[in-house]
């Protein structure tokens, strides 16, 4: 038997390997030319318009991350080409390619820098914000440099780890196979750490930290004495168990006197029922307690009953709930339940199952009792949710309980990208209907609205159950999704974008998805009427449509003006007491 294969195998194990090209050290000031060219291109498009105006440090964060992504893509492409032994340009060809590439990217970056201030100030002016300060550029450059440097160090550290593992496995396997094995095994391990152990630890620590904050009381909130409010001395709910946002909800709404001042008299005192996470040990117990609270306050004797799903911390938007109480002269009962201690930007990732299950259980408990009452003696039943709360509403709307006893309607404000029903309705909208404000099935059950009112183009027939999605074209919480990475969204197409979206905003692979994602934390820091902040007027008109309000258009406009003035006074008061 020939000894050739055995000899070659022994040689493979005993002879030293060909040295790899030496990579720059973790902190070494040495960079890939291809990586720099691609990174600078990504940097330039990071300066293009997005949904919202950006502060300097946010733009710096955006540009730093975007440059690093581009740099990594450039380095990866060059490494793959070298791995596949693709011939590289040399001599004068290499020099010419380098000069042309750098010249083109310099022009691209220079134009983007020049145009950045213009589009930012145009967007800021349309949002009612002051123009950018000249000091924005030093902030952008410093933050972008620090972010890019930190990410580069992390990336090089991971590369060093992979090379160390490659060198070990390379002693026993052919080099390309060793690289593939290490990439799969070590990549899977790092993914598990990042998406599993690290994420779980982050959520656990966040829940612990924010549960302590939930014990605080917001400025302007104090224990109600009105027996129709949860947390009052007669209530089944202890004031201290309602949570920070629950205490604000039950103590800061309009009184009958407030409503009389706007509506001319005859108002009833609104009912507000709320159950906090500390009110009972289990979800079912909290649902039963909330129902008992509604029965105690004679909520089923009102004209309108709303089961509201809160955002992460238990927040219910005053613009959404106050406007309904004014609209129906206080003849209302609103019930809410806390399901998390986390703020919305974390709850959006951590509490999807909790919000859906809480909504279903709360609704089922209240609906089962409501459905036993005679039609003529029970209130009209509605659902309400803002942001992540709309995810819970969609879970209820798809449940079996409402088939035999349908609800009267629902208002969903600022639905996030998690909402499958909203996504499907927008995707399957009627022809010639814009994605930013669609019409579905001629508006027979579901209609869309913005600050100007319902979408035009709905038909004359609107069924007994009326559902409205209230959304802004500039709300990144609504429009972000993973499809932005590789496909241009319909809401950016010509003729389909909303009036509050910059006409110069363009789609770029990967970059637009990152930009809209980065807009999300800023969506609550813009003026009302933009981003994720919905005005009292928009909520009022949406509720009027959902509930078939008897008010005339003139009366609704007068009430809207009163609500906007009241909101301004409340904001001024809170600003004074918080310093």
CB burial readout 257-272, b (16+ within 10 A) else e: ebbeebbeeebbbbbb
Which of residues 278 and 196 earns the better pLDDT score?
278
Residue 206 in this model has a pLDDT that exceeds 90:
no
Q: What's the pLDDT band for 352 if we cut at 50, 70, 90?
A: confident
Rounded to an integer, the average pLDDT of 282-309 is 97
**Does 67 map to a domain?**
no
**Closest to 321 in 3D by CA, of 264, 253, 388, 396:** 253
Residue 7 in this model has a pLDDT that exceeds 50:
no
Which of 11-25, 106-120, 468-482 holds the top average pLDDT?
Answer: 468-482
- Identify the pLDDT of residue 229: 97
**Does 398 map to a domain?**
yes
107 alpha carbon, distance to own chain's centre: 35
Tokens matching residue 108:
């691209």
Tokens matching residue 220:
């302007």
**Does 411 map to a domain?**
yes
Q: What's the pLDDT band for 12 if we cut at 50, 70, 90?
A: very low
- Identify the pLDDT of residue 228: 97
- Work out the percent of the chain whose per-residue pLDDT is above 70: 86
Encode pLDDT of 147-176 as tens digits: 999 988 888 887 777 677 767 777 777 766
CB burial readout 152-176, b (16+ within 10 A) else e: beeebeeeeebeebbeebbeeeeee
> Could you please report the per-residue DSSP string of 446-462?
EEEEETTEEPTT--S--
Which of 25-34, 349-358, 403-412, 439-448 holds the top average pLDDT?
Answer: 439-448
Task: For residues 280 and 241, give the distance between their C-alpha atoms in angstroms, rounded to a whole number.
Answer: 9
Say if CB 358 and CB 337 are below 8 A apart: yes
In sequence order, the 6+-apart residues with CB closer than 8 A to the CB of 463 are 444, 445
Alpha helix (H) residue ranges in 498-535:
511-519
Say if CB 210 and CB 202 are below 8 A apart: no
Strand partners, 468: 411, 447
Tokens matching residue 172:
């026993």
- Identify the pLDDT of residue 378: 95
- Identify the pLDDT of residue 99: 79
Residue 88 in this model has a pLDDT that exceeds 80:
no
Task: For residues 454 and 469, give the distance between their C-alpha atoms in angstroms, rounded to a whole number.
Answer: 9
- Identify the pLDDT of residue 199: 61
**Does 75 map to a domain?**
no
Starting at the earlier edge strand, list the strands of the sheet with 409-413.
271-275, 332-337, 304-309, 380-386, 409-413, 466-470, 446-450, 453-454
Q: Which residue shows structure tokens 């001599």?
A: 91
Helix (H) or strand (E) holding 48: none
Tokens matching residue 228:
């129709």
Where does residue 240 rank: exposed (0-12), middle (13-18), buried (19+ CB within 10 A)? middle
Task: For residues 538 and 304, give the distance between their C-alpha atoms in angstroms, rounded to a whole number.
Answer: 19
Task: For residues 166 and 14, give the distance between their C-alpha atoms in angstroms, rounded to a whole number.
Answer: 17
**Does 496 map to a domain?**
no
- Work out the percent of the chain whose per-residue pLDDT is above 90: 52
**Closest to 534 in 3D by CA, of 569, 560, 505, 572:** 560
**Does 111 map to a domain?**
no
Rounded to an integer, the average pLDDT of 437-441 is 95
556 alpha carbon, distance to own chain's centre: 31
**Closest to 370 in 3D by CA, of 296, 305, 283, 466:** 305
**Closest to 371 in 3D by CA, of 451, 253, 488, 291:** 291
- Identify the pLDDT of residue 11: 47
158 φ, ψ (degrees, to nearest 5): -65, -40
User: In terms of residue numbers, what domain contains 388?
Assistant: 214-481+529-577
Encode pLDDT of 240-261 as tens digits: 999 999 999 999 999 999 999 9
Tokens matching residue 231:
């947390």
- Identify the pLDDT of residue 406: 87
- Identify the pLDDT of residue 76: 84
Per the structure, the count of domains in the chain is 1
Residue 563 in this model has a pLDDT that exceeds 60:
yes
Tokens matching residue 394:
């969609």
Encode pLDDT of 93-138 as tens digits: 777 877 787 788 888 888 888 888 888 888 888 888 888 877 788 8
- Identify the pLDDT of residue 13: 41
Q: Which residue shows structure tokens 């293009």?
A: 48
**Does 422 map to a domain?**
yes
- Identify the pLDDT of residue 8: 44
Rounded to an integer, the average pLDDT of 184-200 is 67
Q: How far is CA 182 from CA 25, 72, 159, in A?
A: 21, 19, 11
- Identify the pLDDT of residue 22: 62
- Identify the pLDDT of residue 507: 93
Encode pLDDT of 277-290 as tens digits: 999 999 999 999 99
Which of residues 462 and 135 earns the better pLDDT score?
462
Say if CB 84 and CB 469 are below 8 A apart: no
Say if CB 367 and CB 405 are below 8 A apart: yes
**Does 413 map to a domain?**
yes
- Identify the pLDDT of residue 572: 72
DSSP tag of 231: T
Tokens matching residue 321:
């709930």
Which of residues 387 and 181 earns the better pLDDT score?
387
Report the range of poorest mean pLDDT among 90-94, 338-342, 458-462, 513-517. Answer: 90-94
Residue 203 in this model has a pLDDT that exceeds 90:
no
Residue 560 in this model has a pLDDT that exceeds 90:
yes
Mean pLDDT of the chain: 86
Residue 407 in this model has a pLDDT that exceeds 60:
yes
């Amino acid at each position: 038997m020939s000894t050739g294969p055995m000899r070659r195998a022994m040689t493979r194990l005993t002879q030293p390997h060909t040295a790899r090209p030496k990579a720059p050290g973790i902190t070494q000031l040495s960079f890939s030319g291809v990586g720099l060219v691609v990174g600078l291109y990504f940097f330039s498009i990071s300066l293009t318009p997005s949904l919202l105006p950006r502060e300097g440090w946010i733009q710096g964060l955006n540009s730093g991350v975007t440059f690093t992504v581009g740099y990594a893509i450039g380095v990866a492409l060059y490494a793959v080409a070298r791995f596949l032994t693709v011939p590289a340009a040399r001599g004068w060809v290499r020099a010419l390619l380098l000069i042309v590439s750098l010249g083109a990217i310099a022009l691209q970056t220079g134009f983007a820098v020049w145009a950045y201030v213009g589009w930012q100030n145009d967007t800021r002016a349309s949002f009612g914000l002051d123009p950018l300060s000249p000091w924005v550029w030093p902030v952008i450059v410093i933050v972008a440099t620090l972010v890019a440097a930190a990410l580069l160090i992390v990336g090089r550290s991971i590369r060093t780890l992979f090379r160390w593992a490659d060198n070990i496995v390379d002693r026993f396997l052919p080099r390309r196979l060793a690289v593939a094995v290490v990439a799969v095994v070590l990549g899977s391990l790092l993914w598990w750490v990042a998406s599993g152990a690290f994420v779980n630890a982050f959520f656990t620590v966040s829940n612990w930290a924010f549960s302590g904050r939930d014990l605080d009381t917001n400025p302007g909130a104090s224990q109600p004495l009105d027996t129709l409010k949860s947390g009052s001395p007669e209530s089944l709910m202890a004031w201290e168990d309602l949570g920070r946002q629950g205490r604000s909800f039950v103590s800061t709404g309009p009184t009958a006197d407030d409503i009389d001042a706007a509506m001319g008299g005859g108002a009833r005192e609104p009912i507000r029922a709320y159950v906090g996470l500390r009110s009972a040990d289990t979800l079912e117990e909290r649902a039963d307690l909330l129902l008992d609270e509604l029965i105690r306050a004679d909520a089923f004797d009102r004209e309108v009953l709303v089961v509201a799903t809160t955002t992460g911390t238990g927040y219910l938007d005053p613009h959404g709930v106050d406007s309904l109480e004014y609209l129906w002269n206080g003849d209302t009962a609103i019930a809410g339940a806390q399901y998390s201690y986390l703020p919305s930007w974390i709850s959006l990732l951590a509490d999807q199952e909790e919000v859906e299950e809480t909504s279903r259980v709360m609704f089922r408990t209240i609906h089962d009792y409501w459905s036993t009452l005679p039609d003529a003696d029970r209130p009209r039943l509605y659902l309400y949710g803002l942001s992540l709360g709309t995810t819970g509403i969609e879970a209820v709307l798809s449940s079996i309980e409402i088939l035999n006893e349908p609800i009267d309607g629902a208002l969903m404000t600022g639905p996030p990208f998690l909402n499958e029903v909203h996504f499907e309705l927008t995707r399957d909208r009627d022809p010639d209907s814009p994605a930013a404000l669609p019409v579905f099935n001629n508006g027979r059950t579901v209609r869309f609205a913005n600050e100007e009112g319902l979408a035009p183009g709905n038909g004359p027939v609107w069924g007994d159950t009326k559902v409205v999605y209230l959304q802004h074209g500039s709300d990144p919480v609504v429009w972000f999704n993973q499809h932005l990475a590789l496909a241009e969204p319909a809401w950016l197409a010509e003729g389909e974008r909303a009036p509050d979206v910059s006409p110069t905003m363009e789609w770029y692979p990967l970059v637009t998805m990152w930009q809209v994602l980065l807009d999300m934390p800023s969506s609550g820091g813009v003026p009302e009427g933009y981003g994720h902040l919905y005005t009292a007027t928009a909520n009022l008109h949406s509720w009027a449509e959902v509930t078939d309000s008897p008010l005339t258009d003139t009366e609704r406009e007068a009430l809207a003006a009163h609500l906007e003035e009241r909101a301004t006074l409340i904001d001024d008061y809170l600003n004074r007491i918080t310093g």
